[in-house]
A and B are shown apart, each in its own frame.
Chain A
């Protein structure tokens, strides 16, 4: 088979991986609740896409003036716009439109009061908003396959890497949300992949592609600022090695493109920066530099500010990722390290692009940032999700070695039909050995992935025993909606607690929540006004139980949503039924 034909084959396989991962994620997504930040990003997405719609329709008199841009782009300007714009675009193209009926629940500038948006009408509003993240998840798994094939030369390994990426409870959760963490992990990996290719070819086109992809990353999330550090260290490593060996000369073009092209891409995509560019960019950095510390429970202690335990990210990783993935990844890292030592000793030919070093730097850097003890830890695993593709690659590498070793020991070659069948059977069994627990962990965690803990923790109950963060973002309320719709008296005033108002509005306009159930308001005045109240269980939220006891005069919730018996959401009725 010629290299060209092989490449086409891999392209098709990658496309299959992309389609399969996206489709499965899409199928599961409707059961997962809308989290706090998602609701804001949906709101922002509607406003941002409306700007371009109004621009195309020619209804804006001064479309690029500071005032006009502020109308559409000032909302949620503490986060870059790329993903929010994609969410808005996807929503605009695919949602089943009932927008005029629920005009008041849409942002002012995006409201329509009559008629319908012209859309394909393929899915609910929430799913349409979330679709881009699912596509990014498919893309990440496909890129892992392609990278593995190109860097390590095995299709089986590539497919296993894609599987190990897909079957991760926390990644699977984030892949179903309209938020930035999974796309950020994808763009981290995609930029690294593009850089790795560009330093081989030295072509301007490859370097510019690296710059464009990194520009998209800059326009997505703050973590992007740290990737050039990892890539620069890798580049310096290569330069030092070249000087010593005099064998290979790498280009600096991709890094230059990241310095020149990427900021341009970010500014083009972010109209908020088209006026007062530097002060607004400074404000964006300042917001995150001084980001508030939210509460987070870890090993029984509630942390509301630093210093945090240095091991918190590692502890979360160890207790949330599938155990099989951890075991394989550890073995893979050991194999890579052994290969590295052999290279240094001259027993093995050096990889001209030092791929192992690149993977090490890009795989370790995201989590290392959170081991300083001062960086807020409230996002559980989401802020260093970019580590996970590298664990999947290492895991696949170990699997490939194991499979080759087993087939060798059992002397199963492709000489006879029986041997061929046996070989396929052994391989299928090995795949099953790793696929079964990772898929069980992942699907078991759905739709409350942030409450899931792995077998090392002892599952959700073990996680609760260890005093690990129960959840965040208030999304699990989704599981209580059927009960609320069934049981709450007409015109009930409901205290929403951590379920934010924007998410509540999305549920109402999608008719997932009865429209006569009203938001009673926030904190104690809201509880006093309410005749039903929700508490989303996190350690620091216990206070809200007691506030409700005080207002209602009893302490008995009528409904408790649980995962394996672990309470996630309680609902109290002022006049209890029990």
Chain B
């Protein structure tokens, strides 16, 4: 107690000196954080070792993902030879049996969040993890009618439903779609310029054999929206995607982009 009182008295007497010491600590911390930011960036050798490991065990159909997300261009520089545009612009990662996650700063890619890796190796600042899982079996997909678009600042292979007038819905009809017991649909507004100009919200309806099975409001802030999984009867069906204006303020520039896969829902 007496010692504590002594310290308090001393601090009172040398208050400004204590503040100056605190400032010196802040100064050191500031410099060390900047140095850490610089030296936690992977170097060429880190990347080369990581590429070498993945190349040894990479199989056709594997997916490579990067974390943090902003590292993507550097990741593609090193691993782009093993990654197709279709894989990068995937609807989601459910169809992949093996996923390689390349990360720095101990970050985790959303596609493998919560999963347990079967392999984890670190090369300097780069960590390589391999995930193996039971893939979804795809019986039908909209990819054949899709193109590459930017949705929510991400690449997506999807089909565009262009809505410009309230009374003119956009439709996409697919016949003879071989469905499993489930259908997964994603949608979002394509192109940042459309989102900048658009002030309306679209209503997206999914119809199977003429019957509405799912519906969602898709607007500028919908990101890449996953509609609730739809249970379907296995077999050949007619699927329609219909987009029209749900609510409108001033300008309508709804470039609704849709992706869909039929797969088994457990």
A binds B: yes
**Across-interface contacts of A323 in B (CB, < 8 A):** 26, 29-30
Stretch in contact with the other chain, from A337-345, A374-382, A546-554:
A546-554
Closest chain A CB from B262 CB (angstroms): 26
**Across-interface contacts of B105 in A (CB, < 8 A):** 461, 465
**Across-interface contacts of A328 in B (CB, < 8 A):** 23
A565 pairs with B153, CB closer than 8 A: no
**Across-interface contacts of B68 in A (CB, < 8 A):** 464-465
A555 pairs with B76, CB closer than 8 A: yes
Interface residue B192 (Cβ < 8 Å from any Cβ of A): yes
**Across-interface contacts of A305 in B (CB, < 8 A):** 196
Q: Which of A270-295 contact B (CB under 8 A)?
A: 293, 295
From B29, B80, B84, B150, give the contact of A542 (CB < 8 A).
Answer: B150
Closest chain A CB from B246 CB (angstroms): 21
**Across-interface contacts of A299 in B (CB, < 8 A):** none
User: Nearest residue in A to B125 (C-beta to C-beta)?
Assistant: A565
Closest chain B CB from A365 CB (angstroms): 29
Closest chain B CB from A315 CB (angstroms): 18
User: Nearest residue in A to B68 (C-beta to C-beta)?
Assistant: A465
Interface residue B36 (Cβ < 8 Å from any Cβ of A): yes
B150 pairs with A565, CB closer than 8 A: no
Closest chain A CB from B115 CB (angstroms): 22
A565 pairs with B71, CB closer than 8 A: yes
Q: Which of A530-578 contact B (CB under 8 A)?
A: 535, 537, 539-540, 542-543, 545-546, 549-550, 553-560, 562, 564-567, 570, 576, 578
User: Nearest residue in A to B41 (C-beta to C-beta)?
Assistant: A565
From B29, B40, B88, give the contact of A455 (CB < 8 A).
Answer: B29
**Across-interface contacts of B13 in A (CB, < 8 A):** 409
B38 pairs with A406, CB closer than 8 A: no
Interface residue A521 (Cβ < 8 Å from any Cβ of B): no
Q: Binary interface profile of A, 313-332, with partner B (CB < 8 Å = 1, else 0)? A: 00000000011100110000
Interface residue A485 (Cβ < 8 Å from any Cβ of B): no
CA distance A302 to B192 in the complex (A): 9
CA distance A576 to B82 in the complex (A): 13
Stretch in contact with the other chain, from B14-22, B175-183, B208-216, B232-240:
B14-22
A540 pairs with B37, CB closer than 8 A: no
**Across-interface contacts of A30 in B (CB, < 8 A):** none
From A433, A542, A562, give the contact of B27 (CB < 8 A).
Answer: A433
CA distance A556 to B149 in the complex (A): 17
Closest chain B CB from A302 CB (angstroms): 7
**Across-interface contacts of B42 in A (CB, < 8 A):** 565
**Across-interface contacts of A562 in B (CB, < 8 A):** 41, 74
CA distance A564 to B104 in the complex (A): 12
From B23, B72, B74, B192, give the contact of A540 (CB < 8 A).
Answer: B192
A402 pairs with B16, CB closer than 8 A: yes
Known: A542-B153, A545-B73. A459 touches B37 (CB 8 A): yes
CA distance A567 to B84 in the complex (A): 20
How many residues of chain A have a CB within 8 Å of chain B?
59
User: Nearest residue in B to A453 (C-beta to C-beta)?
Assistant: B37
Interface residue B81 (Cβ < 8 Å from any Cβ of A): yes
A434 pairs with B155, CB closer than 8 A: no
Most B Cβ at <10 Å: residue of A543, A545, A562: A543
B155 pairs with A546, CB closer than 8 A: yes
Interface residue B191 (Cβ < 8 Å from any Cβ of A): yes
Interface residue B148 (Cβ < 8 Å from any Cβ of A): yes
B77 pairs with A440, CB closer than 8 A: no
A461 pairs with B37, CB closer than 8 A: yes
CA distance A293 to B23 in the complex (A): 40
CA distance A462 to B40 in the complex (A): 11
Q: Which of A380-404 contact B (CB under 8 A)?
A: 402
From A434, A459, A570, give the contact of B38 (CB < 8 A).
Answer: A459
From B27, B41, B196, give the contact of A437 (CB < 8 A).
Answer: B27
Closest chain B CB from A338 CB (angstroms): 15
Known: A437-B27, A546-B155, A557-B73. A304 touches B195 (CB 8 A): yes
User: Nearest residue in B to A440 (C-beta to C-beta)?
Assistant: B31
CA distance A578 to B14 in the complex (A): 62
Known: A464-B68, A560-B74, A565-B71. A434 touches B15 (CB 8 A): no
CA distance A567 to B16 in the complex (A): 43
Closest chain B CB from A415 CB (angstroms): 20
Interface residue A430 (Cβ < 8 Å from any Cβ of B): yes
**Across-interface contacts of B27 in A (CB, < 8 A):** 324, 433-434, 436-437
Known: A459-B37, A565-B41. A409 touches B26 (CB 8 A): no
Interface residue B83 (Cβ < 8 Å from any Cβ of A): yes
From A402, A550, A559, give the contact of B23 (CB < 8 A).
Answer: A402
A578 pairs with B41, CB closer than 8 A: no
Q: Which of A405-453 contact B (CB under 8 A)?
A: 405-406, 408-410, 430, 433-434, 436-437, 440-441, 444
A565 pairs with B85, CB closer than 8 A: no
Q: Which of A293-317 contact B (CB under 8 A)?
A: 293, 295, 302, 304-305
Known: A295-B192, A462-B37. A406 touches B73 (CB 8 A): no
Interface residue A205 (Cβ < 8 Å from any Cβ of B): no
**Across-interface contacts of B148 in A (CB, < 8 A):** 546, 549-550
Interface residue A454 (Cβ < 8 Å from any Cβ of B): yes
Interface residue A458 (Cβ < 8 Å from any Cβ of B): yes
Interface residue A128 (Cβ < 8 Å from any Cβ of B): no
From B20, B26, B80, B147, give the contact of A402 (CB < 8 A).
Answer: B20
A556 pairs with B77, CB closer than 8 A: yes
From B83, B195, B196, give the contact of A555 (CB < 8 A).
Answer: B83
CA distance A305 to B192 in the complex (A): 12
A557 pairs with B76, CB closer than 8 A: yes
**Across-interface contacts of A358 in B (CB, < 8 A):** none
Taking A409-B14, A540-B153, A565-B74 as given, write out 18 further A-B residue pairs in contact, using a Cβ cutoff of 8 Å, ordered by the A residue number.
A295-B196, A302-B192, A324-B23, A402-B16, A409-B15, A410-B17, A433-B23, A455-B31, A459-B38, A465-B68, A465-B70, A465-B105, A535-B73, A545-B73, A549-B155, A556-B80, A559-B77, A564-B41
**18 A-B Cβ contacts within 8 A?**
A304-B196, A322-B30, A402-B19, A402-B20, A409-B14, A459-B33, A461-B105, A539-B153, A540-B192, A556-B80, A556-B83, A557-B80, A560-B74, A564-B40, A565-B40, A565-B71, A567-B73, A570-B73
Chain A interface residues toward B at CB < 8 A: 293, 295, 302, 304-305, 322-324, 327-328, 402, 405-406, 408-410, 430, 433-434, 436-437, 440-441, 444, 454-455, 458-462, 464-465, 535, 537, 539-540, 542-543, 545-546, 549-550, 553-560, 562, 564-567, 570, 576, 578
